[in-house]
Amino acid sequence: MIKDGAYFHEPFTEDLVRLFFMDKIIYEGKTKYQQIHIFASKVFGKMLFLDKKIQSAQVDEYIFHECLVHPAMLLHPEPRKVLILGGGEGATLREALRHPTVKKAVMVDIDRELVDLCQQYLPEWSKGAFDDSRARLYFQDARRFVEKAREHFDVVISDLTEPLEGGPSVYLFTREFFSRIADIMTEEGIFVLQAGSADPFYHCFLASCARTLKEVFPIVRPYWTFIFSFSLPWGYVLASKKFDPLGLTAREISERFRKRQLDRLGYLYPQFYASIFILPRYLLAGLKKGELLTDEKPFIWKA
């Protein structure tokens, strides 16, 4: 049992560990699928850790979730049906529902206990999104849901945990799974996923996700931003059947921000939108070294 006023050890990898001073322990426990820690920090506010890995912090969760959701949503001219894989805190759902074009947002998370705990202890994340009449919540394995789905979605958002050995996400980043996602997307469909660190050393997962998505989608655009609570630049990958984010004009971007009433976002704004797709040279070089991920050879993050 961890006590207030102690340091929490986050094992990023076997070579890198971070320490967080915990002013107050809010919750500590284990669900059927993962270990959960929620605590309060003077610097970061409330923090959520799953299997001892940080998921989000109150001080900057909006940065992570705005960058995950809005580039894909804004790229689509009229996203009506959205599928969210993971996203237990409810913040991804919150951001998707900001778009007035959305008529239905389906969220699929395997861990009902986690979602309940987030609603109880981290309501600032969802801000009532679970009560929105457009939201549909299913508690089941994301792969099983996608493989059995019969409806089609305009935007699919993957907010899944890292593929740790023995974890629930190992087979949710493979060519086979991405192909099935493409099958349940509309002809103008867009897919986006959070793809881990984009730093100069630990960007192999990001590169491999991008490499694998290129086997399935004609347009694949990695992008990034810096997340303060992660102490790292963080990567995302957008994959599209038809629309290229680099093809949007500044006028189109501004007009979509205006029509979607997104002027109150805390991080993204029209003039900044295109910049997140501009990558440093080390990432451009690293992306060329990405490996093809398959069910036979998935990515396993070594903690």
Catalogue the active-site residues: 159
Kindly report each contact of residues 110-116 with a partner whose C-beta sits within 8 Å and lies 24 or more positions away, as own/partner.
110/33, 110/139, 110/140, 110/141, 110/142, 110/168, 111/31, 111/32, 111/33, 111/34, 111/139, 111/168, 112/139, 113/31, 113/32, 114/31, 114/33, 114/34, 114/36, 114/50, 114/88, 115/88, 115/90, 115/139
CA distances from 37 to 19, 24, 112, 290 (A): 14, 11, 16, 32
Owner of token pair 């820690």: 37
Nearest to 120 by CA among 10, 46, 54: 46
